[in-house]
Amino acid sequence: MSDATARVDALMAQWKSLAEAGTLPSIEELCDSNPELVSEVARRVAALQRPDPHIVETLIPGSEVRRQMVASVVAAQSPGELDVVTKYRDLQFFNKGGLGEIYSAQEQALQRRVALKFIQDRHADNSDTCMRFITEAEVTARLDHPGVVPVFSLGYTKDNRPFYAMRLIHGKTLDQAIEEFHRDAKHTLDNQSIDFRRLLSQFNSICRTLAYAHNRGIIHRDVKPQNVMIGKYGETLVVDWGLAMPIGRTETARMTSGEETLTPETGSSRDSARGIVGTPSFMSPEQARGEDLLTIGTDIYALGATLFKLLTGTAPFHGATSLEVLEKVKRGDFPLPRKFKPQLSRSLEAICTRAMAVSPRNRYHTCTEMAEDIERWLADQPVTAYNEPWVEKQGRWMRRHKTVTVAVIATLLVVSMILGPMGVWVSRDMAARAEAEVQAKKDRLSEVATSSAATFAADIDLRWRMLSRDSESTQLLADIPLAKFHPAVAGEPKPLGAPMGNDAQQRLTKWIKDRRDYNNEFIKGDSWFIIDTTGLQLARYPDGITVGQRFRYRSYFHGKTHDVDPAEADELPVNTDLHRSTVFQSKSSGRLQITFSVPIWSTPDPKTRKILGRLGTTVELGQFSSLNNGLSKGQAAMLVDTREYEGGVTGKILQHPGWEETRLAQQGVESLRHFPHALVDEIKAHPDRLVLSIEDPVGGEYAGKWLAAFEPVLVSRSGTLVDTDLVVIVMTRDE
């Protein structure tokens, strides 16, 4: 080594020491005694300060200043806060998703390959998607479970694009594994297939991972085979938590699970990803309807859809467009897995269809329950989702007691040669098969009833939502207090087209017509009306003789379950809740109708608002076409009101397929057919998946015995399911 080189090395060591101490001199000051070395020292310093184009830096969360730490400055005592810069080299494109793109990289400090996930350029300027990306990183990092990819750090590139570093997984997606399995004709779907058992075990790992996330108060919202990675050594990881959403947890739930609630510090994708989000073929009906208040049942449904693909090799829903797929999802319109794979175990099919029930309350209550049913099947034990027929129970017993079974069969063969055909065994087998077919028929009917009730509930919910939106109209709020009628008209039936009232009343008449014309594009209503706090009908469309009359006695005015005597009505205050009336006979048309109505408040502020009246729409009986969505040939749907009418009558039939021929014209409420009290009491006592053999009360071509599935109509309000006292009945001939 030359003397000049040695002196340059010494000067560079001095420069590094001063740099670490934070007291950097100029190059000239450093080389004051060696001016001839200024150019060489300057070149070396510049080389050290020049950023490497193949290096990205990430700042560990919690630090405010970027500063490189070296081992020599770490004191023996606790250093307190550390600001650490980690460098990654040799970035290579690895994969791409909807929001991010992943590169593999070499972590310089620990010399290991990691994955770096960056937000895509097209999303980098959108604050909502950036927040979703950062929330994804935080949620993934804080879910400390073997089934979630470990996250090492979060950082930003020099152009302020967020990214995070995580474990690099070498393997394939569950979707690829499923396709490979079904591509091989040699693979079977029975308990003895090693490859099939391996797939189900990996599926079970997904259930357990999601159970942990749910116990932390997080739902995934986009569970599907493509979002599960299977490592080279069998590790199963749930990835892509970009749509993860915190759900409300009570103190009881936290104490029961034993896990600390995970509330993202960076915000919530509940705010930045409202509406219909997820993958249509694997999302739940409540997601497809765009509901905001989701539960763990959403992930359980997606697990069922994932299991469907695992069992059949295809997704449960297909369509020419996403909209067509979403409509099928809302109705629960998917084929049974055994249609694709007839050899599939009925127990596995039952596990799948239970998880994919249209109503969340009919699904597994937790992912752990679903995982345990899969484990029971793998262990050749009965599962909770399927009521096994006698022949299957006997088959299991025989498999477990092979020695005894062989001896019994040998004995029976000898006896059979003496006594002839084993008629008793044959008849038992036939009876078991018949029982299994009846149970399958009941299960299918129950699912259709659940789907029909959910669709009808969405119809009711939409009516109340649109009425609530319209009730906040500034024109409506301004004109209601000013509306007046001509003295000759108010309180009396008026001839159609007669002059009504002042300018405010006439503006209300035009407003209600405009709202009816617009809303009827989405929800059909026979009439739309406005009443004030005295029960006075201020406006109605279509125009009728009832405008200017008082309706304090109607159930929608006072909120009771029935109309009251007009003489008693003056003492009743105006209803301030959403309301569905009992059946009444319209004064304008003479038809039997029910009303959906909402309060009209002077202002949104609960502290200062005053009730101004009610806004409502009427629907004629027999006009709820959504009840028939998803019905198969030979099936029929009814709508029953379980509220009590005059005389203590319950179970009034509000819609029946037989009415399409006769219609309801100029009939009183008392003419409606109803179910027996005992049956209504049983419906109320056992509302969940009740299937009975009944006699149709309407008769005519529908006379006789029917197998009927009953499902209550429940509407979500403030995160709680509210019973509307309506029951959907789907029936098919009981042959």
Cβ neighbours of residue 642 under 8 Å, at least 6 residues apart?
650, 651, 680, 683, 684, 725, 726, 727
**148 pLDDT more than 90:** yes
Domain boundaries, the chain: 55-168, 170-378, 390-420+433-445, 446-455+625-735, 471-620
292-306: average pLDDT: 93
For residue 200, what pLDDT band results from cuts at 50, 70 and 90?
A: very high
For residue 49, what pLDDT band results from cuts at 50, 70 and 90?
A: low
Task: Look up residue 600 and give its two tokens.
Answer: 């009209």
pLDDT in tens, 242-293: 888 888 765 555 665 667 778 776 654 444 445 678 889 999 999 998 887 8
78-84: average pLDDT: 63
pLDDT in tens, 355-403: 999 888 889 999 999 999 999 999 888 999 887 765 565 556 555 555 5
Q: Which among 232, 103, 112, 111 is positioned nearest to 163, based on CA atoms?
A: 103
Quote the pLDDT of residue 386.
Answer: 86
**56 pLDDT more than 60:** no
pLDDT > 70 in the chain, percent: 80
593-605: average pLDDT: 92
441-445: average pLDDT: 80
86-108: average pLDDT: 86
Task: Look up residue 708 and give its two tokens.
Answer: 């009927």
Cβ neighbours of residue 90 under 8 Å, at least 6 residues apart?
54, 105, 106
pLDDT in tens, 17-43: 777 666 667 777 788 788 778 778 887
Helix (H) or strand (E) holding 710: strand 705-717
Quote the pLDDT of residue 253.
Answer: 59
Quote the pLDDT of residue 237.
Answer: 95
Identical fold between 55-168 and 170-378: no
Q: Using the 8-state DSSP alphabet, how is residue 148 labeled? A: B
Higher model confidence: residue 210 or residue 668? 210
pLDDT in tens, 601-639: 999 888 899 999 999 999 888 788 777 777 777 888 889
CB-based contact 178:225 (threshold 8 Å)? yes
Beta partners for 652?
641, 674
For residue 475, what pLDDT band results from cuts at 50, 70 and 90?
A: very high
Q: Which among 603, 579, 584 is positioned nearest to 594, based on CA atoms?
A: 584
680-708: average pLDDT: 78
Q: Which among 506, 516, 524, 507 is positioned nearest to 542, based on CA atoms?
A: 516
Least confident stretch, 76-80, 87-91, 691-695: 76-80
Question: What type of residue is 85?
Answer: V
Cβ neighbours of residue 677 under 8 Å, at least 6 residues apart?
650, 651
For residue 655, what pLDDT band results from cuts at 50, 70 and 90?
A: confident
- In CATH, the architecture of 471-620 is 2-Layer Sandwich (3.30)
pTM score of the predicted model: 0.51
Quote the pLDDT of residue 719.
Answer: 59
Higher model confidence: residue 484 or residue 677? 484
pLDDT > 90 in the chain, percent: 27
For Cα atoms 209, 716, 692, give the angle at the middle one, nearest 5 degrees: 90
Task: Supply the mean pLDDT for the chain.
Answer: 80
**156 pLDDT more than 90:** no
CATH class of 446-455+625-735: alpha beta
- In CATH, the architecture of 170-378 is Orthogonal Bundle (1.10)
**151 pLDDT more than 90:** yes
Quote the pLDDT of residue 45.
Answer: 76
For residue 337, what pLDDT band results from cuts at 50, 70 and 90?
A: very high
Quote the pLDDT of residue 222.
Answer: 93
CATH class of 55-168: alpha beta
Instruction: State the Cα–Cα distance between residues 237 and 77, nearest whole angstrom.
Output: 38
410-439: average pLDDT: 60
Instruction: State the Cα–Cα distance between residues 674 and 698, nearest whole angstrom.
Output: 8
Quote the pLDDT of residue 53.
Answer: 43
pLDDT in tens, 526-578: 889 999 999 999 999 987 778 888 899 998 898 887 888 888 888 888 999 99
Helix (H) or strand (E) holding 457: helix 423-470
651-669: average pLDDT: 69
707 three-class SS: strand
